[in-house]
Chains A and B, each alone.
Chain A
Amino acid sequence: MGLLSILIFVPLLFGLTILLLPKKYSQSYKYFTVAVAVIQLAITAYLYCQFQTGAAFTGVNQLDSYQFKEYLPWIRLDIGKFGALQIDYLLGVDGFSIPLLFLSALVMLIAALSSWEIKENHKGYFSLMMLLNTAIMGVFCALDIFLFYVFYELMLLPLYFLIGIWGGVRREYAAIKFFLYTLLGSVFMLLVIAGLYFSVIDPLTGNHTFNMVHMMNPQNYVPDGIFSFLAHQDILGIPARLLGFIVVFIAFAIKVPIVPFHTWLPDAHVEAPTPISIILAGVLLKVGGYGIIRIAYSIFPDVALNLSFYIGLLGVISILYGAMVALAQTDLKRLIAYSSVSHMGFVLLGLASLTSEGISGAMMQMISHGFLSVMLFFIVGVVYNRVHDRYIYNFRGLATHMPIYTGFVMIAFFASLGLPGFSAFIAEAFSLIGAFNSESVNGLIPRWMAILGSFGILLGAAYLLWTLQRMFFGQLRVKEENWLIKLKDLNVREILTLVPLAFFAILLGVIPSLVFNIINTSVNQFILLFT
């Protein structure tokens, strides 16, 4: 049993333990969760340090060059003339997944630490969270597309209950919307997965295979397969590969989320309890971005190349539209939810450029947004837990009343608006630089997209500084008198939660090569798919 399996199944094990423990130990569950997250963080940190780069460790479409690989034949079923059904338990990581694994472990730790606010039904909550943890780790490790899909769908179930039971006033609406919206995307993806299965054969065994790395190599396709590069099959008059790409892309675009598939996000965020918002923003959105890179782009490179213009355009629209809508918000959490839409737009823009700096910028943006959105949602949680209100105009001049809190708010806000010295600046700058260079390097997306996209940075400054001015500066005034007693400054646990996030945001802002060097080989290999 390898480290990746341990990473995936440790939470499941602890989740079962929590289920079996009698209720009188319910106060200890949260410590279990924290313990699991610490173990996972240690493992991922170890993996990150052990991760090797260079020509032999490219990953992407080279199965042999994935690291920490684990392989177990899982389902073998003889299905007559279709050969044998081959589903494998295949895990491995490359430059695209390793930083996200580390990020997920960190986010899970923060989520565990912010679960102190959960007051009821601890058993259900913490065991569901453990299940979610397993699914998340699995998604980033799985190299068999069937296994990936299992983990991918497995994420939905605990999230549905976590939002639907422990959420806010409109939790049921938000939970069902989230569940159905994402499910809608993924059921169609299942059809594409089936189509891919019948189009691809394992070069070693000759069976059809769900191995997604094999799906990235054109020579593994059977000549008359539905998704074959050469056969140019049509489905309903649309080229099959085009349709396949679009279906998979939309499935993940819903997760990212990309305008216009984003409306589940504000509702889910606003209704979800703080730890779940943290997981949603910190990890779930990255599953979308990861899926676009790993599946949509890698398996359908030819289509992605042709659609680059539109994908870049969607990115720009997300950036500007998300920022504009954020400007109109009066609910702090909704504002941050929309800012997520805007920030994730940079991922798409950088990716669409298909230049090494653009893709690195996009990856950096995912990681950076992971830290920063977690920080922002935690910050919202601080106020909300104390007075159960998030309406911006109900607060004023908090800087005098909660100075430490305001300090962290300023760090988080300035980091998110892309102040140099923080990771978001590096991420956004290189996404834009990549997008701008694209016209000279490969002619995929025009320069004006980068220029328009950069206006997102301006709008980001506008809505965040405006919030800062409205809520934190000026004379102290809150809606109700007794709030002043409730609004205590941060306690030690909260400070300890925020410090590592701020630390990583600054660390990656000052030494971005910590990430860039790790992902570089994989990024270059990825670009080769498109030449």
Chain B
Amino acid sequence: MDSIINISNQMVLILAFLLICAPLLSFFFSLIFKRFASSIAITSISTSFIAAIILFIKVWFSKTLHFSIPWIAFNNFDIRLGFLFNDLTVLMLLLITLIALLVHIYSVEYIRKDKLKPRYFAYLSLFCFSMLSLVLADNLFLIYIFWELVGFSSYLLIGFWFTKEKAVLANKKAFIMNRLGDLGFLIGIMIMLSHFHTLDIDALFGSGNLIASSFTTNGMWVSPFNMMPDYWLTIAGLCFFAGAAAKSAQFPLHTWLPDAMEGPTAVSSLIHAATMVAAGVFLLVRIAPLFNETVLIIIASIGVFTAFMAATIALTQNDIKRVLAFSTISQLGFMMLAIGVGDEASAIFHLVTHAFFKCLLFLGAGIIIHELHHLKEKHQLQFDEQDMTFMGGLFKSMPITAIVFIIAAMALSGLPFTSGYLSKDAILISVFEWADVKGGIFWIFPIIVSLTSWLTTFYIFRVIFKVFFGDFRLPQLLEADHHQFKIHEANAWLKYPVMVLAVFCMAFVFSYQPFSLEASWLFNELAPQQHVGGIYHILVPIYINILSLGLLLITYLAYARNKFSFGLEQTWIFKLSYKQWYFNEIYDAAIVKPTLLKAKAYYWFDKNVIDGLVNSSATAIIHISSLANWFDVYIIDGLVNGVASVVERLNIWFRNVQNGKVQHYIIWMLLIMITFFIYLMIF
């Protein structure tokens, strides 16, 4: 199909430049013109958004466009700078700019009173620049560059309140953990470059299709340029996955994301829920043809395990942002699972819908936290404004926030008429079909994923009922007058962005027929030939949703009406969940502490053994030289001096003999003669 509007390729290029340069300029200008930081940032992201819309219309439903210019060249490969436009690119561009725009607007109010507001908007712009460039990049090297830069902007934003000890510990952890994954990415790049002599995505996986021209035979992996043992194919896949796992917070590199919640909530919403963390999924979809069967099964296993683990942790957390953080990890696990079972279209579809509803959940939580914080400052109270035990009954005072939050929660649970229903069921169906083909042990995947799906409903409605229903618990807990604490609805800056997001949580945005995945314009374009018919297509949504509705009722009774409680607080299962499966403790004991100890040991070795060797050889030389000195003074020179002193003594003695007294001479003569005679007598 031809594109709907007709603009030249040159125009596309200009728009793309505009799209990424606007946030970059905003980064600098926000720091220079501090007073106008928020206006600059919003203007720039709006520009990007408009450019993204035009690009979307141009490229969606149309063929891939690719532009590049030379950058670095070596003998047998070169790395170019370029843009790659395909469906995935423009979809991501649109998604990121739209959400970023809403978050920018929201932030104006959220960060209004902060002294470092200009810096906040500068960092946010830097993030947008990196993220948009990452999506547009046409080769793996460029993706890596912006991959690290989004990590860097995330570092800056997590540690935005840098005097908070927890925040700076969290951003360090986030960066280093992501670095670990990045090493995988870098090694993957080295393998690809070594094997294919190019990193261009179009050449590798698109029109050039080098990946298809490589094959494994006799334990060797052969490309047109090179040959290496076939385990490198698996290693390459796993390395890229390691990078994606770190960025998308998958087990075992997931522990940075909950800590990253120390940053401003608007940032958590944009970066740590909607966009950056999805970059891992994006990368894997970009390079999906690379993965062999082993790698796919590993991706699926880690995805499903992460989804399940994070969901169980989300069940018991009391910090509202932490629940959402684990929910994000869990949902990213769903996307990884979808990639693992070979259904990239569903992964991307879920990425898009998740971005909207998770962003909304965070922004909604942000509003609540913001208002509670306001209350805390006003009355000089001491409590944790993120702790859900202090909330309750907020529906009455902030109905709009409550409604949009509930819509997003429904989307997260995948209830009908929401976007989540479409995308989550797409993944579930794929997993069932995949397990059906594979059979046997692989049935464990659909079982766990269904379980996780119900857990999702449970934990998110637990949040809803704890926060918006029942009684407001703060006055009771602080033993204060109920009427003193008045919570207000959010103001326009906060309210409108979440309302827009709520619209995008509806199924009709993505499909004119809210129960039909096939009717979705987005899914159809990404994967035209999937899920036609099939028994799972009908059964899976029904049984998942019926049970979900049952669970919803249980949570309502347990948390809103307080009819009963589960009474599990003292069990090990609860503790395991509450302590986040002890991953932080394990990593600290098994990795961080030993590394620091090892570092100390190395330093000891350096100081005492290597440098000790240098110093002791110096000391040895000094000792040898002093020995030589002694020998020189006492033996050699001693001999010389000895001879001299003997002569001198003799000399003195003889001088005494020749003293000019005749009597002495006669006595000497007598002595000598007597000696002579004695000598003769004896011998």
Contact = CB atoms under 8 A, between A and B. Distances in A.
Nearest to B228: A440
Interface in A290-318: none
Contact of A458 (B183, B189, B193): B183
B168 A474 contact: yes
A454 B186 contact: yes
Interface string A310-331: 0000000000010011011100
Interface string A490-528: 000000000000000000000011001000000010000
B194 interface: yes
Contact of A420 (B73, B149, B602): B149
A71 to B, nearest CB: 33
B74 interface: yes
Contacts of B164: 474
Contact of A324 (B72, B76, B599): B599
B627 interface: no
A245 interface: no
B175 interface: yes
Contacts of A466: 172
Interface stretch (A155-163, A185-193, A429-437): A429-437
A425 B151 CA distance: 15
A450 B195 CA distance: 15
Interface stretch (B287-295, B366-374, B470-478, B610-618): B610-618
B82 to A, nearest CB: 15
A252 interface: no
Interface in B176-235: 176, 179-180, 183, 186-187, 189-191, 193-195, 226, 228
A356 B74 contact: yes
B603 A328 contact: yes
B606 interface: yes
B496 to A, nearest CB: 34
B152 interface: yes
A228 to B, nearest CB: 31
A311 B133 CA distance: 38
A263 B610 contact: yes
Given A181-B614, A524-B75, A324 B183 contact: no
B676 interface: no
Given A356-B75, A454-B187, A469-B172, A325 B163 contact: no
Contacts of B602: 321, 324-325, 328
B108 interface: no
Contacts of A455: 183
A322 B18 CA distance: 43
Contacts of B598: 324
Given A263-B606, A465-B172, A454 B600 contact: no
Interface in B599-647: 599-600, 602-603, 606, 610-611, 614, 618
A462 B176 contact: yes
A177 B75 contact: no
B148 A437 contact: no
B417 to A, nearest CB: 44
Nearest to B151: A419
Contact of B72 (A328, A437, A468, A513): A513
Given A328-B602, A450-B190, A469 B610 contact: no
A420 B179 CA distance: 12
Nearest to A399: B162
A399 B115 CA distance: 14
A473 B163 contact: yes
B71 interface: yes
Nearest to A181: B614
Chain B interface helix/strand/loop/mixed: helix
Contacts of A419: 148-149, 152
A429 B176 CA distance: 18
A437 B197 CA distance: 10
Which of A420, A472, A524 has the most B CB atoms < 10 Å from its CB?
Answer: A420
Contacts of A259: 610
A518 to B, nearest CB: 13
A451 interface: yes
Given A263-B614, A325-B602, A436 B190 contact: yes
B194 A437 contact: yes
A387 interface: no
B179 A457 contact: yes
A310 to B, nearest CB: 18
Chain B: number of interface residues, binned into ranges = 35 or more
Interface in A413-435: 414, 419-421, 425-426, 429, 432-433
A206 interface: no
Given A419-B152, A461-B176, A469-B169, A436 B191 contact: yes
Given A420-B145, A429-B186, A473-B159, A325 B606 contact: yes
Contacts of A355: 75
Contacts of B508: none
A65 interface: no
B1 interface: no
A425 to B, nearest CB: 8
Nearest to A456: B183
A506 to B, nearest CB: 13
B536 interface: no
Contacts of B159: 473
B180 to A, nearest CB: 6
A329 B603 contact: yes
B596 interface: yes
A466 B168 CA distance: 10
A473 B169 CA distance: 10
Contacts of A168: none
A385 interface: no
B187 A325 contact: no
A457 B183 contact: yes
Contact of B193 (A437, A454, A461, A465): A437
Nearest to A441: B76
Which of A355, A360, A469, A476 has the most B CB atoms < 10 Å from its CB?
Answer: A469
B479 interface: no
A324 B602 CA distance: 7
Contacts of B377: none
Contacts of A439: 194, 228
A180 B606 contact: no
B614 A177 contact: yes
A121 interface: no
Nearest to A466: B172
A475 interface: yes
B77 to A, nearest CB: 8
Interface string B69-112: 00111111100000000000000000000000000000000000
B61 interface: no
B72 A512 contact: yes
A400 interface: yes
B163 A475 contact: yes
A439 B232 CA distance: 13
Contacts of A524: 75
Contacts of B2: none
B144 interface: yes
A397 interface: yes
A440 B596 CA distance: 36
B481 interface: no
A454 B242 CA distance: 14
11 contacts: A321-B602, A328-B596, A356-B74, A399-B162, A400-B163, A429-B141, A433-B189, A436-B190, A466-B172, A469-B168, A476-B163
Interface of B: 71-77, 141, 144-146, 148-149, 152, 159, 162-165, 168-169, 172, 175-176, 179-180, 183, 186-187, 189-191, 193-195, 226, 228, 595-596, 598-600, 602-603, 606, 610-611, 614, 618
Interface of A: 177, 180-181, 259-260, 262-264, 321, 324-325, 327-329, 355-357, 360, 397, 399-400, 414, 419-421, 425-426, 429, 432-433, 436-437, 439-441, 450-451, 454-455, 457-458, 461-462, 465-466, 468-469, 472-476, 512-513, 516, 524
Given A260-B610, A321-B602, A325-B606, 6 more contacts: A263-B610, A324-B598, A325-B599, A433-B193, A433-B194, A473-B162
